[in-house]
Structure 1
Amino acid sequence: MEVFAAYLESIDNPQHRARTEEVLDWVTKEFPTLMPVMKWNQPMFTDHGTYIIGFSTAKHHLAVAPEKAGIIHFSVEIVQAGYEHSQQLVRFLWDRPVDFSLLKKMIEYNISDKADCSTFWRK
């Protein structure tokens, strides 16, 4: 989590900082083989040099970005869980609990789907 320390410190709202830290810590513990990295000023996790999932903070939500393929694959579940999404990210509202089971599925999907991927992003 050291790699994310400066990012977390830059989050002014203490509740948003705590939630973001909770999620990043959960990913680190749940998926210890993923590499935590900062790219484009955002915390991300990679596997064998390929992007798995990234996060960023906004005024009303924590943005979770499993790439477009992850959004498409889980679109119905995302909506059923009560989240909104765009083509590139899911909005986890600050005032609602995080659906860690959905987050786990998205990460597991990307790890599996990108097992043979040799680039950072899907092509």
Structure 2
Amino acid sequence: MNDFSAYIKQLTDERQRVRTEEVLDWVSSHFSNLEPRIAWNQPMFTDHGTFIIGFSASRNHLSVSPEQAGMAQFQEKIAKAGYGQSKMLFRIRWDEPVNYTLLEQIIRFNCMDKAECTTFWRK
């Protein structure tokens, strides 16, 4: 978690800090092959130099960004989980549970879908 410690420390709301750290720790432990990094002031995970998933804490929620292809692939499941969403991200409110099964499916999809990708973002 050392890679994200500065990001976590700057979160002044304890609920945000605890939840964000919990999610980042979960991704790190379940996907040890992914490289944690901070870019654009947001914690994210990459694989062979390509973006897999990113997170951002805001006042009311934790944003989860799996790129547009990841959103399109899981749009119905994200809606069924009750998360608000846009074209590029979905939002987990601080007072609702994290659907780790869905998060795992999204990360696995992006890893597989981008296995041959040589750019940071999909083209």
* TM norm structure 2: 0.99
Moved over 3 A (4+): none
* TM norm structure 1: 0.99
CA shift at 1:84, angstroms? 1.0
| Paired residue type of 2:77 | E
Q: Please tell me whether residue 11 in structure 1 is matched to residue 32 in structure 2.
A: no
CA shift at 1:120, angstroms? 0.2
User: CA RMSD, aligned part only?
Assistant: 0.4
| Paired residue type of 1:35 | E
1:104 aligns to what?
Answer: 104
Q: Please tell me whether residue 22 in structure 1 is matched to residue 14 in structure 2.
A: no
After superposition, give the CA deviation of every residue in 1:85-107 in whole Å (9 maximum; x if it has no partner).
00111101100010000000000
Q: How many Å separate the matches in 2 of 1:54 and 1:80? A: 21
Per the alignment, in what secondary structure is the counterpart of residue 91 of structure 2? strand
Residue segments in structure 1 that go unaligned for 5+ positions in a row? none
Q: How many Å separate the matches in 2 of 1:31 and 1:14? A: 25
1:120 aligns to what?
Answer: 120
1:71 aligns to what?
Answer: 71
After superposition, give the CA deviation of every residue in 1:40-76 in whole Å (9 maximum; x if it has no partner).
1000000000000000011110000000000000000
| Paired residue type of 1:117 | C
Per the alignment, in what secondary structure is the counterpart of residue 59 of structure 2? coil
Residue segments in structure 2 that go unaligned for 5+ positions in a row? none
Percent identity among equivalent residues?
A: 53
Q: Please tell me whether residue 52 in structure 1 is matched to residue 57 in structure 2.
A: no
